[in-house]
């Protein structure tokens, strides 16, 4: 039994989709969340910068005594080699999501919706291809994470138009599975489902990763077995009120009162 918190981080509020999944699986676990809202979006940045920011985030979380880390961000997962050199177990969103997609796909034609930096790295697509032996249909979706970060929802016509445009290659290539390879996208899964229809399976990379982390930490006897979990939510800039509403809908909890600001940059 280990009462130390699990550190979960992202460029913004997207990683809260991993917190939602962790809470369902491990209701006893304390979670320390950090979203780098001041420097979001990461998806348009070069890999070296993403890795440098990631180093600052993980150093802070480690100083706060986390027992494990979840890089709840596809962009960080694919562009931060420093994640390989951490002194505690660290889970990125690539392998669990790639395995889940290959398991669920019947025809092996899989699409990847992600940020520009994730698509450019090729890491997510390679992980899927290793499982299926087939090329992946990539769609970089640069507008989505910034819109979600502003609190734009699945019902907003600007967002549904962008999703429809980004999903065109998936429909053209008749994929049967799409990996939501950015942790912001599970927050607008309804918009993807509306465009792609019921025959396409959506893979939530944050939920898959939370499940893999929960299993691995359980096997390593690193879970906290008792007590009521205290969640701490840190951001490098205050999220807009509409984004906090999105977060409250997602978590079933208003995080406004538990929110702290960290001047990281
Ligand atoms: N949630 C991040 C990801 O999974 C967001 C992207 C961004 O900051 O551009 O890739």
CA angle 207, 153, 97 (to 5 degrees): 20
DSSP-derived 3-state class of residue 5: coil
Q: Whose CA is nearest to atom 2 of ligand 1?
A: 73
CA of 77 to the centre of ligand 1 (A): 10
Q: Which of 20, 41, 123, 143 to mutate to test the pocket of ligand 1 (most atoms within 8 A of CB)?
A: 41
Q: Which residues contact 114 (CB under 8 A, 6 or more apart)?
A: 43, 74, 75, 124, 138, 139, 140, 141, 179, 181, 182
CA of 199 to the centre of ligand 1 (A): 26
Say what the pLDDT of residue 263 is.
86
pTM, to two decimals: 0.97
73 catalytic per annotation: yes
* pLDDT tens per residue across all 265 residues of the chain: 899 999 999 999 999 999 999 999 999 899 999 999 999 999 999 999 999 999 999 999 999 999 999 999 999 999 999 999 999 999 999 999 999 999 999 999 999 999 999 999 999 999 999 999 999 999 999 999 999 999 999 999 999 999 999 999 999 999 999 999 999 999 999 999 999 999 999 999 999 999 999 999 999 999 997 766 668 999 999 999 999 999 999 999 899 888 999 988 6
Say what the pLDDT of residue 9 is.
98
182 catalytic per annotation: yes
CA of 258 to the centre of ligand 1 (A): 23
CA of 147 to the centre of ligand 1 (A): 11
Say what the pLDDT of residue 188 is.
97
Q: Which of 75, 116, 179 to mutate to test the pocket of ligand 1 (most atoms within 8 A of CB)?
A: 75
Which of 34, 45, 35 lies closest to 5 in space, CA to CA?
A: 34
């Amino acid at each position: 039994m280990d009462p130390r918190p699990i550190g979960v981080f992202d460029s913004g509020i997207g990683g809260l989709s991993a917190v939602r999944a962790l809470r369902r699986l491990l209701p006893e676990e304390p979670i320390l969340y950090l979203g780098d809202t001041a420097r979001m979006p990461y998806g348009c940045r070069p890999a070296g910068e993403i890795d440098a920011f990631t180093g600052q985030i993980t150093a802070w979380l480690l100083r706060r005594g986390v027992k494990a880390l979840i890089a709840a961000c596809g962009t960080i997962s694919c562009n931060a080699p420093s994640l390989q050199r951490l002194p505690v177990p660290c889970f990125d969103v690539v392998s669990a999501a790639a395995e889940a997609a290959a398991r669920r796909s019947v025809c092996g034609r899989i699409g990847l919706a992600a940020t520009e930096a994730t698509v450019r790295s090729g890491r997510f697509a390679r992980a899927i291809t290793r499982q299926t032996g087939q090329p992946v249909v990539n769609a970089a979706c640069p507008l989505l994470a910034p819109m979600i970060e502003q609190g734009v929802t699945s019902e907003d016509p600007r967002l549904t138009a962008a999703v429809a445009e980004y999903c065109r290659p998936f429909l053209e290539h008749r994929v049967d599975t799409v990996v939501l390879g950015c942790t912001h996208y599970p927050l607008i899964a309804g918009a993807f489902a509306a465009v792609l229809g019921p025959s396409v399976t959506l893979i939530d990379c944050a939920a898959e990763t939370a499940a893999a982390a929960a299993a691995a930490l359980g096997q390593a006897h690193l879970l906290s077995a008792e007590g009521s979990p205290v969640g701490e939510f840190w951001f490098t800039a205050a999220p807009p009120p509409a984004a906090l509403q999105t977060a409250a809908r997602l978590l079933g909890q208003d995080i406004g009162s538990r929110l702290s600001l960290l001047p990281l940059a």
